[in-house]
A and B are shown apart, each in its own frame.
Chain A
């Protein structure tokens, strides 16, 4: 047993050395000004959400990854396991928000076109049905989490899924994220207080369907 453990630790250490050093993650710029999504999302929320919440996920992800590299190099399996939670929280937070900022646009709203529109009609009956279902699923999230429109690589279908906390859609379910709606209270509280449905309904006015369509096109090609 001891020899097995030593060999395993040595293998881990070799694996760590073979990997290039991670470059640090950075906070992506928003593709629009903080005030651009008015009146649907206030500039105060956009600034806090981007500069405080997303930045914190980026910072903490960098710290967790550094610690992970160190633990791998030392063959410290316990530490590797302990770090998984921080990587999930902060890695998920960074992934999710990076998608979210691009899912929104001051010139967004309306309905999708092309292949995505066809698939939505196919899988949900109509765009209105899809919108109702996605709104309901997102509003129903208990506590903190996200509502997602995801793409199932295995059968080419679209699915509405909600995830808790910062669990990333693809990492948790395998579905590829196309459109995400953040319903952590920090995403809307300063403007909408406890009335989450009003916030989710407002977001439909600024959904960047071009971005969602591009993600769908990429997902189909995979």
Chain B
């Protein structure tokens, strides 16, 4: 996808030929903006993980932003250790767990990461814990990075369009949704996550719900499809906020990438429709 954007950048340069200086300047700005603003053009960071296809070895993509890009809301030191330390460790152990699973159970080892987590309870017991903790850790952090984005303008952020309407429908209004979310974030004891999920009922009909998970458990295992996640393990906030989790949660709202959350709705809907026969 990187290559695609570079080509797109080159295409932007073509109109330079024959343009006046202001025109060239305008095209240059447009090219820089398109490449650097984080406009994903229907691309989600989570696509970089290839979680929905079987991989012999999964990889750790670079984040879609610099380590200091979420300042002042989430500090650079935390993002760096969170990505290069914690997420990388889960990846390494997940790959090792898959290699061990492959020796004994080629069927399960042939499944994608997402399917493995959805079908966690069918994995042989001797391998289940390793897949749950490390596959979960790998997926959960991929979701976390996907739903964050820089907020250099320091603006309050809100969902738009269908997602906003869905939130109103399921929670009353956005303020109530945030309050409910904050209460759940405070209620997680020890390590875990808060999730906003899609719950599919019938073909293309769904509701939204809020859940929490402990450790590296994820909602896929209980048949839910997550579109927004908050990591409340202490490592997500301790360097900056120490024991004050509510301060971190309050800051986190400022870097939620609501466009990505909306796109994740479509992402899951497409996958679920494709796999409807399997379900």
A contact residues vs B (CB 8 Å cutoff) = 48, 52-53, 56, 85, 89, 142-145, 164-166, 184-186, 189-190, 193-195
Q: Which residues of B contact A164 (CB under 8 A)?
A: 190
- In this assembly, does B221 line the interface, its C-beta being within 8 Å of a C-beta of chain A? no
Q: Does A48 contact B243, Cβ atoms closer than 8 Å?
A: yes
* Complex-state Cα separation, A56 to B133, whole angstroms: 29
- In this assembly, does B67 line the interface, its C-beta being within 8 Å of a C-beta of chain A? no
Q: Which residues of A contact B239 (CB under 8 A)?
A: 189-190, 193
User: Could you list 4 further interchain pairs (A-B, Cβ under 8 angstroms) beyond the known A52-B243, A193-B81?
Assistant: A143-B233, A185-B234, A193-B85, A194-B81
* Complex-state Cα separation, A89 to B215, whole angstroms: 16
Q: Shortest CB–CB separation between residue B60 and chain A, in angstroms?
A: 14
Q: Does A144 contact B89, Cβ atoms closer than 8 Å?
A: no
Kindly report which residue of chain B lies nearest to residue A144, judged by CB atoms.
Answer: B190
Q: Shortest CB–CB separation between residue A24 and chain B, in angstroms?
A: 21
Interface string of B208-251 (1 = CB under 8 A from A): 00000011100000000000000001110011001100000000
Q: Does B243 contact A165, Cβ atoms closer than 8 Å?
A: no
B contact residues vs A (CB 8 Å cutoff) = 81, 85-86, 89, 133, 189-192, 214-216, 233-235, 238-239, 242-243
Kindly report which residue of chain A lies nearest to residue B133, judged by CB atoms.
Answer: A142
Kindly report which residue of chain B lies nearest to residue A51, judged by CB atoms.
Answer: B243
Q: Which residues of B contact A189 (CB under 8 A)?
A: 234-235, 238-239
* Complex-state Cα separation, A190 to B237, whole angstroms: 11
Q: Shortest CB–CB separation between residue B183 and chain A, in angstroms?
A: 15
* Complex-state Cα separation, A165 to B191, whole angstroms: 8
Q: Shortest CB–CB separation between residue B106 and chain A, in angstroms?
A: 27
* Complex-state Cα separation, A100 to B134, whole angstroms: 29
Q: Which residues of A contact B86 (CB under 8 A)?
A: 194
Q: Does A186 contact B133, Cβ atoms closer than 8 Å?
A: no
Q: Does A53 contact B243, Cβ atoms closer than 8 Å?
A: yes
* Complex-state Cα separation, A189 to B191, whole angstroms: 14
Q: Does A165 contact B190, Cβ atoms closer than 8 Å?
A: yes
Closest 7 CB pairs of A and B: A143-B191, A185-B234, A194-B85, A144-B190, A143-B215, A165-B190, A52-B243
From the candidates A56, A85, A142, A166, name the one contacting B243 in the complex (CB within 8 A): A56
Kindly report which residue of chain B lies nearest to residue A44, judged by CB atoms.
Answer: B242
From the candidates B190, B235, B242, name the one contacting A194 in the complex (CB within 8 A): B235
Q: Shortest CB–CB separation between residue B238 and chain A, in angstroms?
A: 5
* Complex-state Cα separation, A166 to B190, whole angstroms: 8
Q: Shortest CB–CB separation between residue A141 and chain B, in angstroms?
A: 10
A-B contact pairs, 26 of them (CB 8 A): A48-B242, A52-B242, A52-B243, A53-B243, A142-B216, A143-B191, A143-B214, A143-B215, A143-B233, A144-B190, A145-B190, A164-B190, A165-B189, A165-B190, A166-B189, A185-B234, A185-B235, A186-B242, A186-B243, A189-B239, A190-B239, A193-B81, A193-B235, A194-B81, A194-B85, A194-B235
> Which of B192, B214, B234 gathers most chain A CB within 10 Å?
B234
Q: Shortest CB–CB separation between residue A222 and chain B, in angstroms?
A: 30
* Complex-state Cα separation, A164 to B191, whole angstroms: 10
Q: Which residues of B contact A89 (CB under 8 A)?
A: 189
* Complex-state Cα separation, A85 to B189, whole angstroms: 10
* Complex-state Cα separation, A195 to B133, whole angstroms: 18
Kindly report which residue of chain A lies nearest to residue B132, judged by CB atoms.
Answer: A142
* Complex-state Cα separation, A145 to B238, whole angstroms: 17
Q: Shortest CB–CB separation between residue A142 and chain B, in angstroms?
A: 5
* Complex-state Cα separation, A164 to B216, whole angstroms: 14
* Complex-state Cα separation, A141 to B215, whole angstroms: 10
> Which of B86, B89, B214, B238 gathers most chain A CB within 10 Å?
B238
Q: Does A194 contact B89, Cβ atoms closer than 8 Å?
A: yes
* Complex-state Cα separation, A185 to B232, whole angstroms: 11
Q: Shortest CB–CB separation between residue B258 and chain A, in angstroms?
A: 29
Kindly report which residue of chain A lies nearest to residue B86, judged by CB atoms.
Answer: A194
From the candidates B81, B133, B214, B234, name the one contacting A184 in the complex (CB within 8 A): B234
* Complex-state Cα separation, A122 to B17, whole angstroms: 85
Q: Does B81 contact A143, Cβ atoms closer than 8 Å?
A: no
Q: When A48-B243, A56-B243, A165-B190 are in contact, do A142 and B233 touch as well, CB less than 8 Å?
A: no
Q: Which residues of A contact B191 (CB under 8 A)?
A: 143-144, 185
* Complex-state Cα separation, A80 to B215, whole angstroms: 27
From the candidates A142, A166, A186, name the one contacting B238 in the complex (CB within 8 A): A186
* Complex-state Cα separation, A56 to B191, whole angstroms: 17
Q: Which residues of A contact B235 (CB under 8 A)?
A: 185, 189, 193-194
Q: Which residues of B contact A48 (CB under 8 A)?
A: 242-243
